[in-house]
Amino acid sequence: MFRFEVIRRDAGSSARAGLLETAHGTVETPAFMPVGTQGSVKSLTPEELEACGVQILLGNTYHLHLRPGEEVIGRFGGLHRFMGWRRPLLTDSGGFQIFSLAALARVTEEGVAFRSHLDGSERRLTPERAVEIQLALGADILMCLDRVAGWPAPAAEFEAAERQTLRWAERCRRRWRESGEAGTRALFGIVQGGMDPALRRRSAEDLAALDFSGYAVGGLSVGEPLELMLAAAAGTLPFLPPEKPRYVMGVGRPEDLLDLICLGADLFDCVLPTRNARHGKLFTSRGTVQVTHAAWRTEEGPPDPECRCYTCRRYSLAYLRHLFLSRELLAYRLNSLHNVHYFIHLVRSAREAILAGTFADFRNRFYRRREI
């Protein structure tokens, strides 16, 4: 029930187009996953996501474990039925949110003890529990619990995090295999190693030896400068098994996605399209449009004349500006729909260009349009 196949490789880069088959359907890669943090991609329905061409969503284990709890979602047979999403789902392990949101996280070899950001209650997460929770959530793709070190930190801390991530990955793998669901649901290992290429390479190679269903580049977007982030990804991707899917976690801007596709990445997730939408920032073929700009007061055209999303087909910038300034709920919704559509369309267009052998042209056109 889980299978990945590269169907075309780009001649001029490491970009590739693939098919990722899961129990809930096939994902055409490269693919962008919108983030359904608390069991909802903020403001949007499953039907709207499907209409945008979304093929796979990400759910956050940390948030769903705290509220409503995996035992509630488990009663519905998993997150798919609970939230009404029929296509594939990937869940993260909760590790990243514990480090970024929870208070007083204490890491031991056994796992992490932390306090809920919602009510301060004491919680514990081990590699085994992370897998169990994700199984209860019914994810098609589970992620290993990893240990994230923030940027900057001493080299020893990145190395310790990398080693512990590897040991936890083995424990996650064992629990996943024991569950009897390893044939139905995939488990991905996560590369750590900070911004040190040697550490990243060792992490990638040691994880590869454990033979996961796929691999993720983790530990990015933790405060490091953008160049370091891309360098860390570039120093990781070549050392991941080429026949397995590669997922770059939590990145990023449209230009970053294209760079990472060039480096051979297959999967992405990021809150940028929905978060920026709620701040009135729209991604367009000509760059970012701030919807509050006074120039749009009477603008009858849509945010992006090249875009075919519902928002651009139906509404003017003047109306979107008015809704946003009036703090109307519809503003966040129409902006989110547009931005998700933009990201999905961008990555799908990149895929089509890879398949057509025109990916270099596609990238050049992307950058040229932004310079207008």
- 154 cis-preceded (ω within 30 degrees of 0): no
Determine the residue type at 68. Answer: P
Q: Which of 12, 2, 6 is nearest to 263 (CA)?
A: 12
10 is catalytic: no
Q: Whose structure tokens read 């301060």? A: 120
Task: For the CB of residue 297, give the shortest distance to a copy of itself in the complex, in Å.
Answer: 6
Q: Which residues of 277-303 are buried (b: 16+ CB within 10 A; e: fewer)?
A: bbebbbbbbeeebebeeeebeeeeebb
Site for a copy of itself in 238-297 (CB under 8 A): 297
Q: Which of 101, 105, 107, 318 binds a copy of itself (CB under 8 A)?
A: 318
> Which residues, 22 to 61, sit near a copy of itself by CB under 8 A?
38-40, 42-45
216's enclosing H/E stretch is strand 214-217
Q: Catalytic residue among 92, 140, 259, 304, which?
A: 92
Q: Which residues contact 180 (CB under 8 A, 6 or more apart)?
A: none
Q: Does 314 bind a copy of itself (CB under 8 A)?
A: yes
Sequence-ordered list of residues with C-beta below 8 angstroms from that of 208, at least 6 positions apart, any chain: 215, 239, 240, 241
Output 111 or 138, the one with its CB closest to a copy of itself.
138
Q: How far is the CB of 37 from a copy of itself (least distance, A)?
A: 9
The yes-or-no answer on residue 259 being catalytic is no
| Cβ distance to a copy of itself smaller for residue 26 or 37 | 37
Q: Is 300 in the site for a copy of itself (CB under 8 A)?
A: yes
**Ranges within 80-99 binding a copy of itself (CB under 8 A):** 82-84
326 near a copy of itself (CB under 8 A): yes
SS3 6: strand
Q: Which two tokens stand for residue 225?
A: 């400068």
In the list 190, 307, 323, 354, the residue contacting a copy of itself (rule: CB under 8 A) is 323
Among 329, 368, 371, 372, binds a copy of itself (CB under 8 A): 329
DSSP letter string over 246-294?
A: EEETT---HHHHHHHHHTT--EEE-SHHHHHHHTTEEEETTEEEETT-G
Taking CB under 8 A as the binding criterion, the range among 2-10, 75-83, 89-97, 247-255 that sits at the site for a copy of itself is 75-83
Nearest distance from residue 295's CB to a copy of itself, in Å?
A: 13
Task: Rule CB under 8 A: say whether 104 interacts with a copy of itself.
Answer: no
Please tell me which residue in 10, 259, 269, 304 is annotated as part of the active site: 269
Residue with smaller CB distance to a copy of itself, 124 or 314? 314
Cα 96–Cα 101–Cα 107 angle in degrees, nearest 5? 60
Query: Between residues 126 and 311, which has the closer beta carbon with respect to a copy of itself?
Result: 311
Size of the residue set binding a copy of itself (CB under 8 A)? 34
CA distance 125 to 75: 21
Is there a contact between 191 and 200 (Cβ–Cβ < 8 Å)? Answer: yes
For position 302 contacting a copy of itself by CB under 8 A, the verdict is no
- C-beta atoms surrounding 101 within 10 Å: 16
Residue whose CB is less far from a copy of itself, 44 or 204: 44
Stretch binding a copy of itself (CB under 8 A), from 209-217, 327-335, 339-347, 349-357: 327-335
Give the burial class of 243: count Cβ atoms within 10 A of its Cβ; 0-12 exposed, 13-18 middle, 19 or more buried. Answer: exposed
> Catalytic site residues?
92, 269
Interface with a copy of itself (CB under 8 A):
38-40, 42-45, 63, 67-68, 72, 75-76, 82-84, 297-298, 300, 314-316, 318-319, 321-323, 325-326, 328-330, 332-333
